[in-house]
Amino acid sequence: MSVKIVIKPNTYFDSVSLMSISTRANKLDGVEQAFVAMATEMNKGVLKNLGLLTPELEQAKNGDLMIVINGKSGADNEQLLVEIEELFNTKAQSGSHEARYATIASAKKHIPESNLAVISVNGLFAAREARQALQNDLNVMLFSDNVSVEDELALKQLAHEKGLLMMGQTVVRRLSTARRSVLVTPCVAATSVLLAHPAPAARS
């Protein structure tokens, strides 16, 4: 097994972006398995289950970016790394024409029919953004790492009081692992939060 490991200290990307990049990385020619994620305990657990967790990766901190490439026989891992890093540039360029708003409240004002906020920001700010979304009558899918149990419980209680859904990272990851999808059309970015319109009703 030929494995290439890269750790980029203090390099943060949100979970939604990294899941997209990881998916695309696994489709590259020569890749047996690729894993691109922040070095959280949950993600290290995934690597352990895959048999790819090394002492070097174990020592990585929450704010570090991990790129793990398990190349197929004869593959050039250095070239695969170049191709995977290029995916980050493609991601940045593809989002350059998205509408952006300073707050969730302003995004909701401009898109009043939106009913879902997909939140993937640094864990230090995630609870605040999720609370704003709920206060603006939006269901929440929270991808962010390192949200305290107390904050997540308070958010779920607020959602219950308002008759809304509040899905934390564990639920969201399980849905992703099960390869289920949420239909949203179209989306508008507010910082690192996506607001989504309800899907149009099917015609008979």
pLDDT digits (tens, 9 = 90+) for 166-190: 988 665 555 544 443 343 333 333 3
Domain boundaries, the chain: 2-94, 104-196
Q: Which of 22, 21, 48, 19 lies closest to 169 in space, CA to CA?
A: 19
- Distances from the Cα of 176 to the Cαs of 19, 22, 107, 126, in angstroms? 9, 13, 26, 19
Rounded-to-10 torsion of CA 67, 72, 78, 81: -40
CA angle 89, 6, 11 (to 5 degrees): 55
Structure tokens at 203: 């015609």
Q: What is the pLDDT of residue 103?
A: 84
pLDDT digits (tens, 9 = 90+) for 95-146: 545 567 778 888 888 888 888 888 877 778 889 999 999 999 999 988 777 7
pTM over 0.95: no
Query: Residue 86 carries which DSSP code?
Result: H
Q: What pLDDT does residue 119 have?
A: 84
What is the mean pLDDT of the segment spanning 29-46? 91
Mean pLDDT of 81-99: 73
Q: Report whether CATH 3.40.50.720 matches the domain 2-94.
A: no
Tokens representing residue 162 in the block: 């308002």
Instruction: Give CATH for domain 104-196.
Output: 3.40.50.720
pLDDT of 46-71, one tens digit each?
A: 899 989 999 999 999 988 999 999 99
Three-state secondary structure call for residue 28: coil
Q: For residue 94, with 0-12 CB atoms within 10 Å meaning exposed, 13-18 middle and 19 or more buried, which class applies?
A: exposed
Helix, coil or strand: residue 44: helix
Cα 21 off chain centre by: 10
Question: Hey, how many other C-beta atoms are within 10 angstroms of the C-beta on 5?
Answer: 18
**183 touches 199 (CB < 8 A):** yes
